[in-house]
Chain A
Amino acid sequence: MAIAPAPTAPRGGEPMPDDGPAGDGAATPGRAVRLLRRLLTFQTLLVGGSVVVVGYLALVPLGYLFHDTFLSGGGFSFDAFSRAYGGDSQSGSMMLNSLWFAFGSAALALLLGTALAYVQVRTDTPFKGLFFAASLVPLIIPGILYATSWIFLGDPTIGLLNTLVFKPLFGASPINIFSVWGMIWVQGLHLAPVAFLLMVAAFRAMDPSLEESAAMSGAGRGTILWRITLPLVRPAMISGALLMFVQSLESFEVPGLLGLQNGTYVFTSRIYFVLRAYPIDYGAAGAYAIGLLAIAAAGVLLSAWLQRSSRNFQTVTGKAFRPRPVELGRARPLAGAAVIGYFLLTVVLPIAVLIYASLLKYYAVPSRKAIKTMSLNNYREVLHTPLAFTALKNSLVLGVGAATVVMLLTAIVSWVVLRTKAPGRRLLDMLAFTPIVIPGLVLGLALSFVYLRSSLPIYGTLLILLISYCTRYLPYGMRYSSAAMAQISPELEESAAVSGASWFQTFRRVVLPLMSSGFLAGWVYILVVSFRELSSTILLYSPGKEVLSVLIWEQFENGQFTTLAALGVCMVVILVLLVSVAYRLGARFGLQGDSTN
């Protein structure tokens, strides 16, 4: 879920952490030196440096993207747009697919998520713990693996659901995962936990006396649900739906795996397709990227605006209510069965089929013959591929690097935003949140524009991936850091200053230790999401610099499904380890998480 900061009018000027210099314009040499010395303190250097880095990360790629799209032919022109969206480009059906896919996924996720949240929070359903286990899916199963699992399950010819369930029972194979419907199904299921967590928060924050007073007025359970409960959580539902719409629109894994091979394009897969065709039309890719960026930005801004304007409608009073659960009575076993069914379908089945596939030499429907060929050969192969270790090492290095850089940067930036009265601090806040509207693939494209041009030897190194991850996860780091910073009373810093501590001593010995739990939570979260990042990496990596997710993508393109499955199982295991460490650290994870990658 993305919350863009309030779009206030920028006041201009570089933020200055300390109060501005008091002198007038006419500076004598002595005063100039004094001014310079004041400006060159460690504090201003560090803070100024962070501001510059954030501005660079957020703005430079976008600048190049617009420049290369509009000015590629020498002068300003819309040529790229007419190539991209013109007559025979089939962009009409592409956009229709995109919107249909995004809308369908958001609707499915919201429907499932809201229903699950209501049942979890407001009823006495059994297996309440399973809900949260299911909500971990997007964190531990990356989109690329989830889509692969559903290919194993829903392929029209070899998919298990077709061959084992529908063919014997009905004599037909109705399921085709390689369609917009299939894409909606996979994306919707993958996003449902996000909707679930959002709606759990909304239901918990609602004052149950509002429902009780409706009951006292004589309303039945259904009427209360329909006329009181759902209208009260409507703001949360609408903003949640918009965010899931944007996330689906930006998602590359699902449309990439399920739509590319039969030409069902959406924005992201279209950009990828254009960049893989020869000759590469960067302008057209840029034009698609700008179109996608515009829709995504509109969605995020609309959602932020709705969240703000719905404040007066809120029933949230800051305390968490413990409402008396609705007694399901005879429907209780039914609800229990539905919960188990949902858990089996969305968690157990995809993981099981991934494990099953990883044990086979060639993917086949389970039979006595298939079971006889089962072995651990794929795992052995994975372990003996030097590339797998390089990829794991790269993934770890990038994850740790991005997490550290982002959290340190956002710790300083959130300090500037929350603690100083520097002019332009709102602008800085907005800059740090800007990347939230940039889809991964668009960022990848924009960065390749920047560094293909730049004389710095960054393109084709791990550094470009690090820059990309830092940019993408800046908003998430910002959210963790500013939440942690907001909890520290300013007096704790002031008392350090009065005690004689310099700014840096205060920051290192008081601020950082006090925000350490939030800092750590954000750090692990960014490590986890970096681990699964595919959509920007896919445009920026170069041979020998693969990461795990790219390795999986390559194996998919080569048709090595069973090694892919083995690698995928390894990746899930690593992610489970990371996520459980994160939980140990008390990170309240999913609520701040996204799920697209």
Chain B
Amino acid sequence: MLTVESLAKSYEDSPGRRSRRAAEGTTRHFAVDGVDFEVHDGELFTLLGPSGCGKTTTLRSIAGLERPTKGRVTLGGRVLFDAGKGINLKANSRGFGMVFQSYAIWPHLSVFKNVSFPLEVMPRASRPGRKEIEERVERVLDVIELGSYARRPATKLSGGQQQRLALARALVTQPELMLLDEPLSNLDAKLRETMRFELKRLQRELNLTAIYVTHDQSEALVMSNRIAVMDKGRIEQIGKPREIYTRPASRFVAEFIGTANFIEATVLSVTGDEVVVDCAQGRLVARQVESPPAVGDSVLVSIRPESVDISTTRRGDVPTEWTGTVVTRAFMGDVVDHIVAVGKQEIHCRSNPTVSIQPGTEVHLSVAPEKVTLVPGA
């Protein structure tokens, strides 16, 4: 199990910057600002966030490629980094596997040599013999289906093959932890989708513990056991994909994962898990199982477009139903989006492509209570 405790990294560590900062009276800027999480064995843990949120810096700190400013990183009982004790294990003695965004395939080596490199540079005591190296490389190349390419120059491979080669190189030492830095972002859309499942399958079959960095929310949702959503160097929420999607803990998470309608509201009443809120459009019933808010709290209501039911007729059997006018519609192949004006607010609705309503038509919108998310502190 990997444990990361209050990890922080500032790039403004040079003496010059320090003195300039002191002179100007500004505070130092942290790329990663106090991050805590645990990665369980056999789990694929994803760091998700927009570019510049600190996810790659966090990963590189775990890899030993960056020296964090503060914090502690341990794997099992082994301390990898401890700022307080001045411990910083070098990247080459942490024994992890890593796949880089650019793959970082060594262009001067063959496919085989790229994979055998990590074995060849092992400390002499634990280094396997030539025969064993050969076997292990061939085995891992077979797993990722590059067996027949072993003797080729690595640069002769296609993008997807290079990606798998990078994976093979990271796997060959059977590392305790795999670090994946946006490994799919350089592939085209089609290949990316195939590789997602491929990667997930490998991870599950080999029971790998992995940390996966991505800015692609759908990738994160598909592949992860758990996701940490990061913003501005901090973790906003950690949870299973479904939790993150249906119960975002903050406006940022709700906005970043998928699209959402946000409505400001005040809590009117709380009965059991049923919360009634009041907003500009009228009343809305929500079913909040975890940490229900108190009466009088101002909350942010988040509703996914696909949770909004759109209909030209009144249903009457639901607790809340709003009436509005269709502003525009957009056919997107597998779904149809309607923008509906309810009072001053535009609500984004997504439904299956058989529904298509003329702009200007009056429509009725309803949301099931369990699809309404209340984000605290609007």
Contacts and interface: CB of A to CB of B under 8 A. Distances in A.
Interface of A: 11, 19, 21-23, 421, 423, 489, 491-492, 494-503, 505-506, 509-510, 513-514, 516
B187 interface: no
A491 B122 contact: no
A560 B122 CA distance: 64
Given A495-B169, A496-B92, 15 more contacts: A19-B67, A489-B102, A491-B100, A492-B106, A494-B91, A497-B65, A498-B91, A498-B94, A499-B169, A500-B122, A501-B117, A502-B121, A503-B92, A510-B106, A516-B108
B375 interface: no
Contacts of B88: 19, 22
A515 B179 CA distance: 27
Contact of B14 (A421, A494, A509, A516): A421
B117 to A, nearest CB: 6
Contacts of B333: none
B107 A499 contact: no
B95 A500 contact: yes
A57 B94 CA distance: 39
Contact of B15 (A23, A423, A500): A423
B97 interface: yes
B367 interface: no
Given A423-B15, A498-B91, A502-B92, A22 B118 contact: no
Interface string B79-99: 000010010101111111110
A500 B93 contact: yes
Nearest to A499: B118
Contacts of A499: 92, 97, 117-118, 121, 169-170, 173
13 contacts: A11-B15, A491-B102, A495-B169, A498-B98, A498-B170, A498-B179, A499-B118, A500-B92, A500-B95, A500-B122, A502-B92, A509-B117, A514-B106
B65 A498 contact: yes
Given A22-B83, A22-B86, A423-B14, A494 B104 contact: yes
A224 to B, nearest CB: 44
Nearest to B126: A500
Contacts of A514: 106-108
B104 A501 contact: no
B14 A495 contact: no
A17 B169 CA distance: 27
Contacts of B92: 496-503, 506
A497 B64 CA distance: 9
Contacts of A513: 108
A500 B169 contact: no
B104 A489 contact: yes
B86 A23 contact: yes
B146 interface: no
Contacts of A489: 102, 104
Best-buried of B14, B102, B106 by chain A (most CB within 10 Å)? B106
A138 B14 CA distance: 45
Given A22-B86, A423-B15, A495 B98 contact: yes
B121 A498 contact: no
B63 interface: yes
